[in-house]
Amino acid sequence: MNASATTATSEYPFAKELITDTRGRVSKVVLGCRPYRQLLELAADAGLGRAMKAVAHEKPLTREQALKLLGGT
């Protein structure tokens, strides 16, 4: 394994396989199912965290207030 392959492998620790272009640069990363699901979960958690931070200054609503705003009863 050459130095660039070792570097590429260390940059993609969850990769099952690295696909390179004709110049040897990584162009695609193949993940197993479990790491892929973990990555999706991390992305969802990060999005939820950003959404929670964006509304942290807002006053919480009661159930009734929230339903009224949504057009419910």
Specify the pTM: 0.58
For 36-61, the pLDDT digits (tens) are 999 999 999 999 999 999 999 999 99
Q: Can you give the residue range of the structural domain that contains 65? A: 3-69
Cα dist from 6 to 1, 12, 21, 57, whole Å:
7, 10, 16, 46
For 2-29, the pLDDT digits (tens) are 445 556 678 888 899 999 999 999 999 9
Is the pLDDT assigned to residue 64 strictly greater than 70?
yes
Task: Answer for the pair 56, 50: CB distance below 8 angstroms, yes or no.
Answer: no
Task: Count how many domains the chain has.
Answer: 1
pLDDT at residue 13, rounded to an integer: 84
pLDDT at residue 69, rounded to an integer: 92
